[in-house]
Amino acid sequence: MAKKKHFKVFRSSAGFGLRALKDFKKGDVLLDYTGPIITNDEADENPNRYLFRLDDEKTIDGSPRSNLARYINHGCKPNAQAVHDEAKDRIYIEAIKKIIDGDEITYNYGPEYFDEYIKPGGCLCKKCTKKKAKAVEKVGA
């Protein structure tokens, strides 16, 4: 698995993001989504958005800053995915295409999270901001 020195937290269009500092191949495990495992009842009372539900009973509270995966933004055209290893109560982030040194790491947060948190304010991923910029250009032409 990759080490912390293989990533850099940076200021992105969506707040903070995570950038690769080396190349990764499709299928490489980038890092784990880490934090204490709490009950879903505790998660429902928790105000932070760094929660990753494991099953009907448990959630990972990914709010500790040592959890670099918390900085991975949503992407409508992602280069990674979150994988649930049920046997180990583990979530890891895997490259779904080649990632080049300097690329922002993104994965699709899924329709439920997108509809509740992202859609109301507008998606700020690279794909959507390019689309918006082109639409503004077209209107201005």
C-alpha separations of 121 from 104, 114, 139 in Å? 21, 10, 21
| Band of residue 138 on the pLDDT scale cut at 50, 70, 90 | low
CATH number at residue 96: 2.170.270.10
Strands, E, within 40-101: which ranges? 51-53, 58-61, 73-74, 80-85, 90-95
Please report which confidence band the pLDDT of residue 133 belongs to, taking 50, 70 and 90 as the band edges: low
Residue 49, domain extent: 4-140
Taking the C-alpha atoms of residue 82 and residue 89, their distance in angstroms, rounded to an integer, is: 13
Rounded CA-CA distance 36/23 in Å is: 30
Q: Which of 4-13, 29-38, 54-63, 84-93 has the lowest mean pLDDT?
A: 4-13
**Higher local confidence (pLDDT), 92 or 3:** 92
Number of domains in the chain: 1
d(CA 51, CA 125): 20
DSSP 3-state of 1: coil
Residue scoring higher pLDDT (133 or 123)? 123
Which pLDDT tens digit goes with each residue over 65-118? 999 999 999 999 999 999 999 999 999 999 999 999 999 999 999 988 888 888
| 130 has pLDDT over 80 | no
Using the predicted structure, report yes or no on whether residue 19 has a pLDDT greater than 60. Answer: yes
